[in-house]
Amino acid sequence: MRHLSLLWRHRALISVLTQRELAARYRASVLGFFWSLLNPLMVLAVYAVVFTTVFQPRFEGGRPYPLFLFAGLLPWMFFSGAILDAAITLVDNGPLLAKVMCPPELFPAVVVLSHLVHHLFALPVLIGAMWVASAWGWHVFPWTIFLLPLALIPWILVAAGGAAAISAMAVRLRDLRDLVNHFLNLLFFASPIIYSLEVQQMPGALIRVLKLNPMASLVTVYRDVVFTGKVPPLTQWALAYGFGVLAWILGSLVFSRLRDSLVEAV
Amino acid sequence: MRPGELIFDGVEKNYKIRGMRSNRQETLKGLLFGRRQPKMPARDYPALKKIDFSVRPGEVVALIGPNGAGKSTLLKLAGGILKPTRGQVLREGRLTALIELGAGFHPEITGRENVVINGMLLGLSRKEVEARMEKIIDFAQIGDFIDFPVKTYSSGMYVRLGFSVAVAVEPDIMLIDEVLAVGDEAFTIRCMDHLARMRRRGVSMILVTHDLDLAAAFADRAVYLNDGLLQDDGPADSVVARYRSDVAGDLHDDVDARAPIRVIEEGRRWGNGEVEILSVEFRSGGRPARLIPSGEDCEIVINYRCHSPQRDFVFGIAWHSEDGTLIAGHNTDLDGLQTASLEGEGVVRCSYPEAPLAPGLYEIDIAVHTADGLAYDYWCRAASLKITAPVGLPGFWAPPHRWTSSGKIWK
Q: What is the pLDDT of residues B183-234, one digit of tens each?
A: 677 777 788 788 888 888 889 999 998 888 888 878 889 999 988 899 888 8
Give the pLDDT of residue B34.
Answer: 55
Smallest Cα distance from B375 to chain A, Å: 38
C-alpha triplet A63, A66, A67: angle, nearest 5°: 70
Task: From chain A, pick out residues whose CB is under 8 angstroms from the CB of B109.
Answer: 20, 23-24, 27
Which candidate in B18, B112, B120 is best for mutational testing of the A interface (most A CBs within 10 A)?
Answer: B120
Cα(A97)–Cα(B83) distance, rounded to whole angstroms? 13
Q: Is the separation of the CB atoms in B39 and B30 below 8 Å?
A: no
Q: Is the separation of the CB atoms in A38 and A128 below 8 Å?
A: no
Give the pLDDT of residue B37.
Answer: 46
Smallest Cα distance from B223 to chain A, Å: 22
Q: Which residue type sits at B389?
A: A
Domain ranges of chain A: 43-48+60-265
Please give, one letter per residue, the 3-state secondary structure of B300-318.
EEEEEEECCCECCCEEEEE
Beta bridge partners of A259: none
User: What own/partner pairs with CB < 8 Å and gap ≥ 24 does B245-253 have?
Assistant: B245/B270, B245/B271, B245/B369, B245/B373, B245/B374, B245/B375, B245/B378, B247/B66, B247/B373, B248/B369, B248/B370, B248/B372, B248/B373, B248/B374, B248/B375, B249/B374, B249/B375, B251/B372, B251/B374, B252/B370, B252/B374
Cα(B393)–Cα(B395) distance, rounded to whole angstroms? 7
Give the pLDDT of residue A27.
Answer: 67
Cα(B56)–Cα(B205) distance, rounded to whole angstroms? 10
State whether B103 and A174 contact (CB < 8 Å).
no
Question: Measuring CA to CA, which residue among B114, B152, B157 is closest to residue B133?
Answer: B114
Q: Tell me B246's DSSP state.
A: H
State whether A101 and B27 contact (CB < 8 Å).
no
First-last CA distance in chain A = 25
Q: Is the separation of the CB atoms in B317 and B350 below 8 Å?
A: yes
Give the pLDDT of residue B23.
Answer: 44
Q: Cα B45 to chain center, whole Å?
A: 26
Which candidate in A9, A88, A100, A166 is best for mutational testing of the B interface (most B CBs within 10 A)?
Answer: A100
Interface size between A and B, measured as CB pairs under 8 A: 76
pTM, rounded to two decimals:
0.72
Q: Is the separation of the CB atoms in B317 and B286 below 8 Å?
A: no
Of all residues in chain A, the one with the smallest CA distance to B107 is A24
With a cut of 50, list the residues of chain B below it in pLDDT: 19-25, 37-38, 254-257
Cα(A11)–Cα(B65) distance, rounded to whole angstroms? 41
The torsion of the CA quartet A118, A119, A121, A122, rounded to 10 degrees, works out to 120
State whether A16 and B81 contact (CB < 8 Å).
no
Give the pLDDT of residue B256.
Answer: 46
All structural domains of chain B:
6-19+43-226 (3.40.50.300), 258-388 (2.70.50.60)
State whether B118 and A100 contact (CB < 8 Å).
yes
Q: Cα B76 to chain center, whole Å?
A: 17
Question: Measuring CA to CA, which residue among B298, B232, B247, B321 is closest to residue B66?
Answer: B247
CA B2 vs CA B80, B156, B224, B331: distances in Å: 18, 36, 25, 41
Beta bridge partners of B385: B362
Per-residue pLDDT tens digits of chain A, which is 266 residues long: 778 888 888 888 899 889 888 887 776 666 667 777 788 888 888 887 887 777 776 666 677 888 888 899 999 999 999 999 999 999 888 888 887 778 889 999 999 999 999 899 889 888 998 999 888 888 888 888 899 999 999 999 999 999 999 999 998 888 888 999 999 999 998 998 888 877 666 777 888 888 888 999 999 999 999 998 889 999 999 999 999 999 999 999 999 999 888 887 77
Question: Measuring CA to CA, which residue among B350, B334, B320 is closest to residue B237?
Answer: B320
Q: Which residue type sits at A262?
A: L
State whether A176 and B99 contact (CB < 8 Å).
no
Q: Which of A20, A99, A172 is facing B26, going by the closest CB pair? A: A172
Backbone angles phi, psi at B149, to 5 degrees: -60, 145
State whether B28 and A173 contact (CB < 8 Å).
yes
Tell me what ipTM this predicted complex has: 0.77
Q: Residues of A at the B interface (Cβ-Cβ below 8 Å)?
A: 12-13, 16-17, 19-20, 23-24, 27-28, 93, 95-102, 172-176, 179, 260, 263-264
